[in-house]
């Protein structure tokens, strides 16, 4: 099966109902009753993301309905305007390339050296399990826990929070909110102690940057909930794509193409397939009139895919200004950390001998983000 066919399978397994509905939209904008106004054109999509007066993340049908009951009302993802900009400014030094490159390298060095070694020894490695392990280590860093404390069990409970929701119902039931709050409370206890300590931990560094305890805990919770699943879904998909197209070995011979290959991987997979907004005031998106309170589904995956198949040589991703990380005021604040981790994992695979292949794989079913349930690679 081709790389594109596998991607198609992942999307269908994750969203058996919504995906066919969204891919059936052939026009740049269309209203789908019961779902919302679907935008599939990159330029229109960007215009919505940049129009803070016309659209908000914090209204009916937008993702704030998922985050606010769990994390509280002021955690970036559900803020707008001056307060949002001020918190972003305060957090900016946490995500400078130098800081995140160092954080990621320090945090993942041992695990990645072990990965290269196992592949060199001919051991089959399930990349999904592997990347979950890295995510646990990174969560520990983000909330200031010891590496050994965030085990698979806590990770599973964190993942379960996003697994509760789907596109038709992007919010949690009362029982799910309670379960999610219990997980966040556990993380908060650790983050609170770290915030009060020195600047060697992420919460401690946030205090140094002037964040109060409540904002620091909220930000740490948002990083964990938004950043973990995206990477766990993306990295195995990128690796599968590179193996299915023969590009992993090509990159080993010519590492100058690594950045283009990652960008193209982001474009054709679009780890966060859609973004949601709520209409703030009556207006138009392209040729379609929209009314206050309506939900807008920004189908980034459709806009990205319109530029054709994975191609690190022509690199059509270069013209998209990283649309897969969003645009405008809510552009992914964690993008430098995500990129640092992706580069490191890819580097570890490129350090392994040539000729790696996929030995077995299966798609994850009914997950918010399409991805592999398992992806076993070996020599
Ligand atoms: C492959 C990896 C990732 C992808 C594709 C991704 C994608 C995105 C996208 C598309 C948005 C904008 C959503 C919108 O406008 O509605 C976003 C926002 C955000 N991301 Fe990421 N993300 C990734 C990794 C991360 C990581 C590692 C972190 C945390 C450390 C993170 C933290 C955030 C936060 C906090 C926001 C909200 C920013 C705001 O509202 O101001 N993300 N991400």
Strand, coil or helix: 72: coil
Residues with Cβ within 8 Å of residue 379, at least 6 apart in sequence = 119, 122, 352, 353, 355, 356, 357
What tokens were used for 77? 């993802």
Token pair for 324: 């897969």
Residue 124, number of CB atoms within 10 A of its CB: 12
Tokens of 221: 């919770």
- From first to last of the 379 residues of the chain, give the pLDDT tens digit: 999 999 999 999 999 999 999 999 999 999 999 889 999 999 999 999 999 999 999 877 777 888 888 888 888 988 989 999 999 999 999 999 998 999 999 999 999 999 999 999 999 999 999 999 998 888 888 888 766 556 677 778 788 887 777 666 667 888 888 988 998 998 898 899 999 999 888 999 999 999 999 999 999 999 988 888 899 999 999 999 999 999 999 999 999 999 999 999 999 999 999 999 999 999 999 999 999 999 999 999 999 999 999 999 999 999 999 999 999 999 999 999 999 999 999 999 999 999 999 999 999 999 889 999 999 999 9
Ligand 1 lined by 271 (C-beta under 6 Å) = yes
Q: Answer yes or no: is the C-beta of 325 below 6 A from any ligand 1 atom.
A: yes
Closest ligand 1 atom, residue 88 Cα: 41
Residue 324 Cβ < 6 Å to ligand 1: yes
Ligand 1: does its nearest atom lie under 6 Å from the Cβ of 136? no
- The structural domains of the chain, ordered by start, are 3-378 (1.10.630.10)
pLDDT at 17: 92
| Ligand 1 midpoint to CA 151 (Å) | 23
Is the CB of 236 within 6 Å of ligand 1? no
Q: Which residues contact 89 (CB under 8 A, 6 or more apart)?
A: none
To test the pocket of ligand 1, the residue of 101, 334, 341 to mutate (highest count of ligand atoms within 8 Å of its CB) is 334
Helices (H), 75-173: 81-91, 97-120, 127-143, 152-163
The alpha carbon of 133 and the centre of ligand 1 are apart by a number of angstroms equal to: 20
Atom of ligand 1 nearest to the CA of 328: 15
Strand 125-126 with 372-378, pairing: antiparallel
Q: ∠ CA 184-187-192 to the nearest 5 degrees?
A: 115
Please indicate whether residue 326, judged by its CB atom, sits closer than 6 Å to ligand 1.
yes
């Amino acid at each position: 099966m081709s790389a594109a066919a596998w991607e198609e399978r992942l999307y269908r397994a994750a969203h058996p109902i919504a995906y066919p509905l969204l891919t059936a939209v052939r026009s740049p904008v269309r209203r789908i009753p019961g779902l919302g106004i679907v935008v599939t054109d990159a330029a229109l999509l960007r215009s919505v993301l940049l129009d803070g007066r016309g659209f908000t993340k914090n209204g009916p049908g937008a993702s704030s309905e998922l985050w606010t009951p769990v994390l509280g009302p002021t955690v970036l993802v559900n803020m707008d305007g001056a307060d949002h900009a001020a918190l972003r400014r305060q957090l900016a030094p946490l995500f400078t390339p130098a800081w995140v490159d160092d954080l990621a390298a320090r945090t993942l060095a041992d695990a990645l050296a072990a990965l290269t070694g196992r592949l060199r020894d001919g051991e089959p490695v399930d990349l999904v399990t592997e990347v979950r392990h890295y995510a646990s280590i990174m969560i520990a860093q983000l909330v200031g826990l010891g590496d050994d404390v965030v085990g698979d069990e806590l990770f599973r409970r964190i993942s379960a929070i996003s697994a509760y929701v789907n596109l038709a119902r992007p919010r949690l039931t009362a029982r799910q909110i309670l379960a999610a709050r219990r997980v966040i409370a556990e993380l908060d206890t650790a983050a609170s102690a770290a915030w009060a300590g020195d600047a060697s931990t992420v919460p401690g560094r946030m205090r140094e940057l002037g964040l109060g305890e409540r904002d620091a805990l909220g930000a740490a919770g948002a990083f964990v909930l938004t950043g973990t699943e995206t990477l766990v879904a993306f990295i195995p998909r990128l690796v599968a794509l590179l193996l299915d197209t023969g590009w992993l070995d090509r990159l080993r011979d010519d590492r100058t193409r690594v950045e283009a290959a990652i960008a193209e991987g982001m474009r054709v997979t679009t780890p966060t397939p859609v973004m949601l907004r709520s209409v703030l005031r009556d207006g138009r998106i392209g040729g379609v009139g929209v009314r206050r309170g309506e939900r807008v589904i920004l189908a980034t995956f459709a806009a990205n895919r319109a530029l054709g198949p994975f191609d690190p040589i022509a690199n059509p991703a270069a013209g998209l200004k990283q649309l897969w990380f969003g645009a405008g005021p809510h552009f992914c604040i964690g993008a430098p950390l995500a990129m640092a981790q992706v580069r490191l994992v890819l580097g570890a695979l490129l350090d392994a001998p040539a000729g790696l292949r996929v030995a077995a794989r299966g798609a994850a079913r009914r997950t918010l983000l399409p991805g592999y349930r398992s992806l076993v690679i070996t020599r």
